[in-house]
Amino acid sequence: MSRIQARFTQLKQAGRKALIPYITAGDSNPAVTVPLMHAMVRAGADIIEVGVPFSDPMADGPVIQLACERALKHNVSLTDVLAMVTEFRKTDSATPVVLMGYLNPIEVMGYASFATKAKAAGVDGVLTVDLPPEEAGDLTQLMADAGLDPIYLLAPTSSDERLALIARASRGFVYYVSLKGVTGVAAIDVESVAAKLTQVRRLTSLPVGVGFGIRDGASAAAVAKVADAVVVGSAIVRLIEASQSSPSQIIENVSAFVAELRTAIDHA
């Protein structure tokens, strides 16, 4: 059983929903990433989603685009991200870590090398935004051999046929994008999300996480009522941007926000 599957099993038995915060590795500087990961776990995160900085993050809005720019100023590469996960694993062997990013850095490293190094670092799942399951065969097989869960995005516009395809290809959990567009630019419509998740659950027994558009405790609680996991990215990255001159302030502010989200989800 993978760490992701084990975590969702534990949460289900406890009657709780998963909180999955996102940060971009190396934002605002590489030294803050691992301490911030640990701080988010202490504040109530169940799974950590770590963004791999990329120069053209096409699925992300201005907030995460700027986070990538801040990280890339420090030349943070995929190799560096894997080193950060390795460091995190020295004192946390339980919290699942999902890498979210784009195909180019993986292609540069090489599929086989990436799968081997990601597993060795302690990565549990990989969400490659611009690699659809129809084209992911080679990488998916290498990831499966390494015990890594491939995670795919579902959109509000996904057809029944595509829902079924992604449900078959996914492992760990299915990530439902709650709105049309990029990250961090619109508020969530929970009624529409609930209707779509009913459709998704007819096709898969995997947990379903919902992200994009969750900005505060109230929206996180609303999503937690209909989803198995709540993914929060841009709202956290905004806090990092606002506090980027002080690593200790980043950790304090993000920790407080994650704790707020945790409380709201648990009370939903």
How confident is the model over 202-231, as pLDDT tens digits?
999 999 999 988 999 999 999 999 999 999
**Percent of the chain residues topping a pLDDT of 90:** 83
Task: Determine the Cα–Cα distance for residues 215 and 64; give it in Å rounded to an integer.
Answer: 14
Asked if 149 and 27 touch (Cβ cutoff 8 Å), the reply is no
Helices 234-242 and 62-72 cross at an angle (nearest 10°) of: 50
Report CA-CA distances (Å) from 227 to 18, 108, 194, 219, 246: 9, 35, 8, 12, 35
Q: Is 24 helix (H, G, I), strand (E, B) or coil?
A: strand
Class of domain 3-267: alpha beta
Catalytic: 60? yes
Which residue did the predictor score with more confidence, 158 or 255?
255
Catalytic residue among 27, 46, 60, 124: 60
Q: Give residue-wise pLDDT tens across range 113-168.
A: 999 999 999 999 999 999 999 999 899 999 999 999 999 999 888 888 998 999 89
How is residue 53 annotated by DSSP?
P
At residue 81, the pLDDT reads: 98
Pairing of β 229-232 and β 153-154: unpaired
User: If pLDDT is split at 50, 70 and 90, which confidence band does 180 have?
Assistant: low
Report CA-CA distances (Å) from 117 to 82, 125, 140, 142, 229: 7, 13, 15, 12, 27
**Predicted structure pTM score:** 0.95
Domain ranges across the chain: 3-267
**Percent of the chain residues topping a pLDDT of 70:** 97
Beta bridge partners of 176: 154, 210
- Mean pLDDT (the chain, rounded): 93
Report CA-CA distances (Å) from 166 to 98, 113, 180: 18, 25, 18
Q: Is 104 helix (H, G, I), strand (E, B) or coil?
A: helix
At residue 237, the pLDDT reads: 97
At residue 61, the pLDDT reads: 84
